[in-house]
Amino acid sequence: MRVLVTGGGGFLGSHLCEALLARGDTVWCLDNYCTGEPLNVAPLHGDPRFQLIRADVSGLTADFDVPGRVDAVAHLASPASPPDYGRLPLETLSAGSRGTENALRLAERHGARFLLTSTSEVYGDPVLHPQAESYWGNVNPVGPRSVYDEAKRYAEALTMAYRRSRGVNTGIVRIFNTYGPRMRPHDGRVVSTFIRQALAGEPLTEYGDGSQTRSFCYVEDLVRGLVAMLDSGHGGPVNLGNPDECTVDELARLVIEATGSPSVVEHRPLPVDDPTRRRPDITRARELLGWSPRVGLDAGLRRTVAWAVAGRRQGDRTAGEPVEA
């Protein structure tokens, strides 16, 4: 296929670009690098089937296009961690609104498959557990996380409107916590933060008492799910995540073990609207896509730690200091 990936220079987007190229697809990577990292896709530049377009998907003109046909558009562009969307609130809302419609219009012009990467954040602080796609969520529309939550909820509504009223071949996935190589150490996500702190011998900062839960999916598994959804005709939404739930306290222990760190745990107040429990029901992904995770948390963390250690030794910015000041 010939695929346009918005946000292709980011953590998840770069892995998707790499997976599509590996199976023989042609990839256009569109990114403005507001949170992405050029080094993520640097190894891909030698492939003649890879093209980088440095642009903001929210600012594309009506006549923007890529040469030749487009078979699929994967819309991943958006700040995705609390520090990033807290720092870039208007850009986050634009990526979910104008950016999504620009990507949808391009897909419509080409008769292409459109994939929206939404998020488990549409469930907010859920009162239903685990979260199935039929659950409408418990979201604070004016809270500090709302710029991301509501941007994705709007993007889902817009995507479904294009499917119903314009006949665009769309699909929606809701991504739960994902981790792995190429996460920025200062992106604010719990896995990358714990690994960075453990490798530096610093205290691991747990917010709350550590009893809140998350379900962590290794990036290799998540990308398999994205590709499967891209190749399918399913409209979704479809949850993609690891249903094995663990507490933040358990995660801290696993990171300390994986790094061999002397770090201890330090507790801090829980942020506003931080979900207390998060676990996907992936029945729909299993039935429609034949997808489920393969990499356990312990193995995935050890792979991620090995990558981070190698990056620290080489002075690689993708595993060292953040790009954004």
Catalytic residue IDs: 148
Measured from the Cβ of residue 138, the count of other Cβ atoms closer than 10 Å reads 13
For residue 131, the one-letter residue type is: Q
User: What token pair was written down for 189?
Assistant: 């996500």
d(C-alpha 92, C-alpha 77), whole Å: 9
E strands, 48-132, are 50-54, 72-75, 113-119
The half-sphere exposure of 10 on its side-chain side, counting CA atoms within 13 A, is: 23
Query: In the block, which residue shows the tokens 């042609």?
Result: 26
Q: Chain centroid to CA 286: how far?
A: 20
User: What token pair was written down for 123?
Assistant: 């469930």
Question: In 3D, which of 68, 77, 79 has the Cα closest to residue 102?
Answer: 77
d(C-alpha 17, C-alpha 307), whole Å: 19
Angle, to 10 degrees, between the axis of helix 146-166 and the axis of helix 100-110? Answer: 20
C-alpha distances out from residue 26 to 51, 112, 113, 180, 207, Å: 8, 14, 15, 24, 43
Query: DSSP assignment of 2-62, as one string?
Result: EEEEETTTSHHHHHHHHHHHHTT-EEEEEE--SS--HHHHGGGTTSTTEEEEE--GGG--T
Query: In the block, which residue shows the tokens 């290794």?
Result: 218
C-alpha distances out from residue 214 to 127, 177, 296, Å: 15, 7, 14
28 within 8 A of 3, measured Cβ to Cβ: yes
Query: In the block, which residue shows the tokens 């009893």?
Result: 211
